Amino acid sequence: MHSEMLFERARKVIPGGVNSPVRAFGSVGMTPRFIESAKGSHIRDADGRDYIDFVGSWGPMILGHAHPAVLEAVEKAAKDGLSFGAATEREVVMAELLCSVVPGLQMIRMVNSGTEAVMSAVRAARGFTGRDKLIKFAGCYHGHSDALLVRAGSGVMTQGIPDSAGVPAGCTADTLTASFNDLQSVEELFRANRDQIAAVIVEPVGANMGVVPPAEGFLAGLRRLCDENGALLIFDEVITGFRLSLGGAQEYYGIRADLCTFGKIIGGGMPVGAYGGRRDIMEKIAPLGPVYQAGTLSGNPVAMAAGLAQIRILKETPDFYKELNERSERFFGDLAAILKEGGIRAVLNHVGSLGCVFFTDREVTDYASAKDSDTERFKAYFRFMIDNGIYIAPSQFEAMFLSSAHSDEDLAVTLDAARRFVS
Ligand code: KE4
């Protein structure tokens, strides 16, 4: 297999043979597929095998791969030069477009990844409030900046313990961990750290512990607790932004965050992240204010062209999200029914075009219950599906991403493979 040979070569010169850990297929114990090309809802690997793709580059490909309008925009922009390290009109147009569709977004800064967006938003929150502590949630992933690589501290110690080598204890000491969908755990942290918490950061829909929707009232409760305690609410919308609706989770759930972060979809597949929100907070960012943040390729003209092309289609296609979300809800409902009829202990969590199968018979509402699922069963499911041409995330703790490019036939073939898995 070409993938095997490529993986062999890759491991000699790239840590683990991949440029991002989840791509190594470690948790499913297989050789990763090296992908050569993609079009629409399909990807093709180095051995010429075709798959229906439900990873979509981990979210960006909401229109499917290699959308003609996105490619054309990239080609056109590239002809005028790849990067200037100077202000360009496209960045103004992108900022105006994002602020026009995202509720409460008054000012925004482009960066180059979701990690960079979150790292910068946290710094903005700390700079604006003059406070150091941060609350995050077990099971929520916000990129790999030091302060966010934290494992829940032990029961007694509310302070974060680094979840990675190379992160000094001091970097996570101010990061407190609460339980997703558990407002009381947040209240307790606010009470124990009165007037010290700069912000609460949350994935409005957990999508990095598998998909875990917010319980009724959870996000509103976070808004209330932040207001009562003078803390900022940060929605990490790197996945949910432009995924659930044009206005992201803020629009979908009707809850206003003070800052929000973006990535993935807004880059159309190119390296783009962004953070923004209330003007009074963003005016603290250099060169206007004292909070420093910078980036050589931030607002890159080719990346802006790709993102603008994709977002314009999302904005201008009538009922884009209504159709995508309704089709996805039907698909996930059918998948859940197939697993149930097959007598498989499985729970299917989904919100809009995000979803995932947990092999468990208990509700999955937080990290603890997600971790309780049968990952060996997931491994068998993954292997069966990929052997049958269905490419889902190679980990239980990720999401399936549907796109407008997934045809009725793609979904029928996928459901048929699931039927054969349970039979
Ligand atoms: P990046 O730095 O990978 O662009 O974004 C970090 C990030 C921030 N916030 C959320 C909610 C995210 O989901 C991510 C990254 N998502 C993962 C997929 N679960 C990226 C895939 C990978 O790490 O290779």
| Catalytic choice (182, 236, 258, 410) | 236
pLDDT at residue 158 tops 60: no
| Cα 270 to Cα 264: distance, rounded to the nearest angstrom | 8
Q: What is the mean pLDDT of residues 383-405?
A: 97
Global confidence as pTM:
0.97
236 is catalytic: yes
**How many A from CA of 185 to the centre of ligand 1?**
25
142 confidence band (pLDDT: 50, 70, 90) = very high
For a ligand 1 pocket test, name from 19, 209, 236, 239 the mutation site with the most ligand atoms within 8 angstroms of its C-beta. Answer: 239
The domains located in the chain, with CATH, are 2-66+319-422 (3.90.1150.10), 68-316 (3.40.640.10)
- Residue 376 contacts by C-beta under 8 Å, 6 or more apart in sequence? none
Q: Burial, 234: exposed, middle or buried (Cβ in 10 Å; 0-12, 13-18, 19+)? A: buried
Lowest pLDDT segment from 101-110, 159-168, 267-276: 159-168
Alpha-carbon distance values, 325 to 25, 223, 363 (Å): 28, 26, 22
| Catalytic choice (51, 141, 275, 367) | 141
pLDDT for res 65: 98
pLDDT at residue 156 tops 50: no
CB 120 within 8 A of CB 298: no
* Dihedral in degrees, nearest 10, Cα atoms 24, 30, 34, 37: -110
133 is catalytic: no
pLDDT at residue 155 tops 60: no
pLDDT for res 162: 83
The set of protein residues with a Cβ atom below 6 angstroms from ligand 1 is 20, 22, 58, 113-115, 118, 141-143, 203, 207-208, 236, 238-239, 263, 273, 398
pLDDT for res 157: 45
pLDDT at residue 161 tops 80: no
DSSP symbol at 152: P
pLDDT for res 152: 58
Which residue has a Cα nearest atom 19 of ligand 1? 208
Structure token digits, residue 243: 């995924």
Which residue has a Cα nearest atom 8 of ligand 1? 142
pLDDT for res 292: 98
For residue 221, report the phi and psi dihedrals to the nearest 5 degrees. -65, -40
| Atom number of ligand 1 nearest to Cα 118 | 8
Tens digits of residue pLDDT in 360-379: 999 999 999 999 999 999 99
Neighbours of 210 (CB within 10 A): 28
pLDDT for res 163: 87
pLDDT for res 159: 61
Task: Report the side by side order of strands in the sheet with 390-391.
Answer: 35-39, 42-45, 50-53, 390-391
Q: What is the mean pLDDT of residues 70-92?
A: 98
146 is catalytic: no
Neighbours of 157 (CB within 10 A): 11
Q: What is the mean pLDDT of residues 325-346?
A: 97
**How many A from CA of 264 to the centre of ligand 1?**
8
